[in-house]
Amino acid sequence: MTRFLPVLAIQAPAQSMRDADDTARFEQQLQVHLSDFGPNFGPEDKDTPRLVVYPEMHCCPSAGTPEQRQAQLEAAAEPIDGPRMRALGDIARRQGIWLQPGSLCERGADGHLYNTAPVFSPAGECVAAYRKCFPWRPFEPYRPGSQFSVFEIPGVGRIGLAICYDIWFPEVCRQLAWLGAEVIINPVATTTSDRAQEQVLIRANAIFNQVFMVSVNASTPAGVGESAIIDPEGRVRAQLPGATAGTLTDVLNLDEVSRVRRFGTAGLNRLWSQWREDDPALELPMYEGRLDPRRWRERG
C-alpha cells in the first residue's frame, strides 16, 4: 500500500492566540485553507491523513526591542498543558487533521521559556512537543531543549521536528533520520537576509539524510517567506517565491524515501548502507562518541 501524506504548509504572518476570539479566528482561517486542500479527494481517500504546518512562533508573535520582545514572550508563555495547547488540540479534532501549529512559547516547569513545536493528532491528542535545541543566540531568550522528537502517523511513516536555526547544525537532522524520520518539519520565522543560505541547508539536509524537508517560513510583514518542500534527493518539489502570504500543497509519497535509501541518490549513493559490520569504528572525539558500523542504520 502506497504511503501518501497530503501536506498543507501555510506561509502567513504570526497571529496571537490569547483568547476565544483569537482561537475562533485561527480556526476560521484554517477552514478556508482546508476547503481548497484536496477538494478532489474521492471516497477511497476519506481516511488519508492530512498534515497542516505553520511557521515558527505563529501563535506567539513578538516585536520591538529585545526588551519589548522578552516582555511579550513572558506574557504569552504557557505551560505545555495550558489553554492554548488545549484549544489547538480541539481544533485538530474538529477538523480531523494532523496539526503542527508552528512553535509556541512554553513556560517550563523549571520557570524557563522554551520554543516548543507541538503536534496534534486528528483525535486532538498532543503526540509530540519538541523544544528547539539551538535558539538563535544572542537574540532569542529561550532555554535550549535537550531531546530530539519524532512521531508516527499510523500507516504512513515517521516525522521529525527541527525548528528554524536547528537545521544549521547537521547533527539534528541526522539524529532525526537515525530515529526513523522520513519527513522533517521545519517551522521557521526568518526575518533576515540569510534565508538564501537556509534554502541551501534544507536541500543539503534532505540529501545528507535522504528525507523530505518541509520548511515553512513566516510571511510579511516580519518574515521573508520562501517556504519550500524538498524531496529525498534534494529536488525542490514546491516553493513560494516571495514573502507574501500563501500556501504550499503537496502529497508526499513516503515510499520515495524507501526507494532512495535502497537504490541511492540519483541511483548511486546509498548513505545508510555505507558501512559493513566488520569495518572499524570511527571515533568522534568532539562528541565523546563514535560512528559504529553496527549501529549505522536508521532505526525505523
Q: Where do you find CATH 3.60.110.10 in the chain?
A: 4-33+48-269
Kindly state the average pLDDT of the residues 176-190.
97
* C-beta of residue 132 within 8 angstroms of C-beta of residue 165: yes
Amino acid at 145: G
CB of 132 closer than 8 Å to CB of 117:
yes
Three-state secondary-structure class, residue 289: strand
* Residue among 147, 80, 69 nearest 107 (CA): 80
- Residue 293's pLDDT is 78
Instruction: Report the chain's mean pLDDT, rounded to a whole number.
Output: 94
Band of the pLDDT at 241, cuts 50, 70, 90? very high
Q: How far apart are CA 136 and CA 191, in angstroms?
A: 12
Per-residue confidence (pLDDT) for residue 37, from 0 to 100: 84
Q: What is the pLDDT of residue 288?
A: 84
**Superfamily for domain range 4-33+48-269:** Carbon-nitrogen hydrolase (3.60.110.10)
Instruction: Give the pLDDT confidence score for residue 268 in this predicted structure.
Output: 97
3 state DSSP class of 196:
helix
| Segment 28-44 mean pLDDT | 84
Kindly report the backbone phi and psi dihedral angles of residue 60, in degrees, each rounded to the nearest multiple of 5, phi listed first. -135, 65
Phi, psi of 197, rounded to the nearest 5 degrees = -70, -40
